[in-house]
Structure 1
Amino acid sequence: MRNNLMTIIKKELARFFGDKRMVFTTILMPGLLIYIMYSFMGSGLTSRFEADEDYTYRIYAENMPSTVSAMIKGSDINVEYLDRDGVSEEDMKQAVTDKDAEMLMVFPENFESDVLAYDSMTATTPAPQVALYYNSADTESTACYQIMASVLDGYEASMANKFDVNSGDEEYDLASKEDSTGQIFSMMLPMLLMIFLFSGCMAIAPESIAGEKERGTIATLLVTPMKRGQLAMGKIISLGIIGLLSGISSFVGTMLSLPKLMGTESNAMDASVYSVTDYILLLLVILTTVLVLVGALAVISAFAKTVKEAGSMIMPLMVVVMVISVTSMLGSGAPKEFYWYLIPFYNSVQGMTGIFDFSYSGINIVACLVSNLIYTGILSMVLAKMFGSEKIMYS
């Protein structure tokens, strides 16, 4: 009995480790995929929330005392103090909201004398207040706020905490609802959508192609008086519809749950900030992306003899798509150059990113849609050629 047990164990281990592709996809691929994705996500989050070291921060300052100005100068950051002549405080706040300035710093008129005269033990009035207005949806503004808050915290500690920074009920974060929503959605949703779309297409494409070969029913289809191109396109369109429905279902669920997932108040993230045009463009990008995904998965599945083998062969493409999807977290928005939107999968991710953060160009979205349709046509022709090959279909 023991010999029989050992025989079975050796046989199964030999079968598994004798298949290099299975060893790679089962043992090496998961760790490699996690390492690559987490590395990209780490660098992406860093670049999203940190400004360049040599960036020059544009600041409006009211009644800034010379001591604070000297401390800022000594902190080795580049600061440009914007001209306030003829500019109202509301206009300065609007400039921060519009990302034309990184910060508005407001000090009391007699700040230094008020601080020296203030005694927290006997005072009956609040300590002098310093207001730092910033835009949390702007990477540079957020970095500027962190730097200035740190400088003032040090100064406050040296003055025995005789003044306060951003205290009270006033709203100091001037980011608009569109900016806040666009920042979070453009960072998270393109990546999640690509994962959902790929998962949905992967669940149906191998079964439709490799599954037909495995069951022997593909032969019946191939002997019908139907052009191979029509068969290939019919497969891709039908699978694309199913994949699209799966992707839309996942998208709706994600949009509804993302505010709670991010721990953000409901009034800070609102999908209603997007127009009907934005949603139509997003749907078109998703639809053409699904067609490319289905076409690529169908071609790969046509090489496989079984659904299980097709799943193993698809794994490298999954790694590529997952890595590309993480690029939505890199940088500060979609690229402006036209040629980026001709790269399959990358164009879809950046197209979604541009739509979500309101930075898309109509020409770039059209380039994305047209190139996706061209790639779908090419994959359909390749699949049709494969359907006409007995060596591939009946091997």
Structure 2
Amino acid sequence: MNGIKQIFKKELDRVFKDKKMIFSVFLLPVLIMVVIMSIVGNLASNMEDDIENHTSIVYIQNEPESFAEFQRQATAKYSLKFIESAEDRKKAENDILNGKADLIIEFPESFDAQVADYEEGDTIPQIKTYYNPSEDYSNSAFRNISGTTLEEYRQMLLAQRMGNLEQIVVFEVNSDNDNMIIQDDKKASGKAVGMMLPYFITILLFAGAMGIGSDMIAGEKERGTMASLLVSPIKRSSIVLGKVFSLMAISGLSSLVYVIVMVVCMPLMMKSMAPGSGSDLNLQLSVSQIVMLGALLVAIAFLYSTIIALLSVFAKSTKEANTYIMPVYMLVLIIGLITMFTTGEANNINFFIPIYNNALAFQGILSQDITVMQYVVTLIETLALGGILTAIVVKAFETEKVMAK
């Protein structure tokens, strides 16, 4: 036990007594994260404002008098251009294609006459719109004009034909229903945060342990200090446990800092993904949720530390160790991405899949959708797998052929 403490203290001192190491492990990632979130949020907000303030350039072909009158009374204003010939139409299509114009509205010839003289059985006149979905301005113009302006125009023409539109309105949907949303705001906020947080937790935990862990073992072998450590009176199992526990503490603490910053900045992150969605986030964790998250965080830090230690022990240098670790890191990235795009309730079988179950458990805790069985299985399996890998690392330390590399 005393040997474990000595190694544990040695590794912690190596990190916490080095100001550059503290900055690179705990502060730099947080600063980078906050800066990136701020930049992305501001860029998204600026893009949304730019699209909203843009005056759409709209080409109109065969404009009827009724639409011209409607446009004069409408509140929405567009920069209108008119298609009078085949050459104008070709130019309009080229402008749409090149992003110089946003929308073409094509009315059938004699549109007003077709509407006024319509009788049952006649062909219903069709207004056609053309746009470029790859252009933000064009896409916005299509949604606003096709979904709003032309619908208002339709209602105006219906009113002229029918008189009182209330006679043909069979029912309305949610016209005065201010209480149509039934949800638990805390659960909804937890679910929104749970979409992204598990991905970042798994990445940051592994990344934090990877940078330090490869140097703890492979780095010492490369520098030649591992040989002197192995001939010391400290048991090799104590050396392994001291290094694994210190790595677990450092990576767990760093990930805790990252998670706190991420939760604080989550409204900004959600706003950057879907403008306006982050302002309603109100994440409040109960004591049980905090305890569950804390225990799971410790278990994951233990598992990742043992994985990195195991891969590092077979490497001759830090560079070689990072080469071994990188495929596992990519696997963690992919698993994190999978959990971001899953829908519905997770199957109980999924909670038996290592690493993947950790991300699912984080999601379940935050959204309050995890069962006791699912959590216990995830926690026990993670700790057990970490224990098995630790035993393998101990065995590797006791093998001279491996440590002599």
Within 1, Cα distance between the matches of 2:262 and 2:318?
Answer: 29
Give deviations 1:60-119, integer Å, cap 9, x for gaps. xxxxxxxxxxxxxxxxxxxxxxxxxxxxxxxxxxxxxxxxxxxxxxxxxxxxxxxxxxxx
1:190 is matched with 198
Structure 1: 5+ residue stretches without partners: 1-149
| Count of matched residue positions in the alignment of Structure 1 and Structure 2 | 244
User: What secondary structure does 1:344 align onto?
Assistant: coil
Q: Is 1:393 matched with 2:384? A: no
**8 Å contact from structure 1 (residues 186, 328) kept in 2:** no
Q: Is 1:231 matched with 2:248? A: no
Within 2, Cα distance between the matches of 1:233 and 1:393?
Answer: 16
Within 2, Cα distance between the matches of 1:327 and 1:266?
Answer: 22
Within 2, Cα distance between the matches of 1:333 and 1:226?
Answer: 51
Share of identical aligned residues, percent?
31
Give the TM-score taking structure 2 as reference length.
Answer: 0.55
Larger radius of gyration: 2
Within 2, Cα distance between the matches of 1:175 and 1:276?
Answer: 22
User: What secondary structure does 2:362 align onto?
Assistant: helix
Range with greater deviation from structure 2 (227-236 or 243-252): 227-236
Of 369, 372, 376, which residue of structure 2 is paired with 1:359? Answer: 369
* Residue identity in the other structure for 2:330: V
Q: Is 1:180 matched with 2:188? A: yes
**8 Å contact from structure 2 (residues 214, 318) kept in 1:** yes
1:323 is matched with 334
Of 266, 269, 289, which residue of structure 1 is paired with 2:281? Answer: 269
Q: Is 1:310 matched with 2:326? A: no
Q: Is 1:375 matched with 2:396? A: no
Within 2, Cα distance between the matches of 1:294 and 1:212?
Answer: 16
State the 1:392 CA deviation: 1.5
**8 Å contact from structure 2 (residues 190, 283) kept in 1:** no
1:287 is matched with 298
Alignment of 1:1-395 (within 5 A): 158-160=154-156, 170=178, 173-263=181-271, 264=276, 268-272=280-284, 274-337=285-348, 339-395=349-405
* Residue identity in the other structure for 2:380: V
Within 2, Cα distance between the matches of 1:275 and 1:325?
Answer: 25
Note the aligned Cα RMSD (angstroms). Answer: 2.8
**8 Å contact from structure 1 (residues 211, 307) kept in 2:** yes
**8 Å contact from structure 1 (residues 334, 351) kept in 2:** no
* Residue identity in the other structure for 2:288: T
State the 1:393 CA deviation: 1.2
**8 Å contact from structure 2 (residues 313, 403) kept in 1:** yes
Structure 2: 5+ residue stretches without partners: 1-145, 159-164
Within 2, Cα distance between the matches of 1:206 and 1:224?
Answer: 22
User: What secondary structure does 2:280 align onto?
Assistant: coil
Residues 266 and 392 from structure 1, CA distance in 2 versus in 1: closer, same or farther, beyond 3 angstroms? same
State the 1:178 CA deviation: 2.0
Residues 153 and 378 from structure 1, CA distance in 2 versus in 1: closer, same or farther, beyond 3 angstroms? farther
Give the TM-score taking structure 1 as reference length.
Answer: 0.57
Which one has the bigger helix percentage? 2
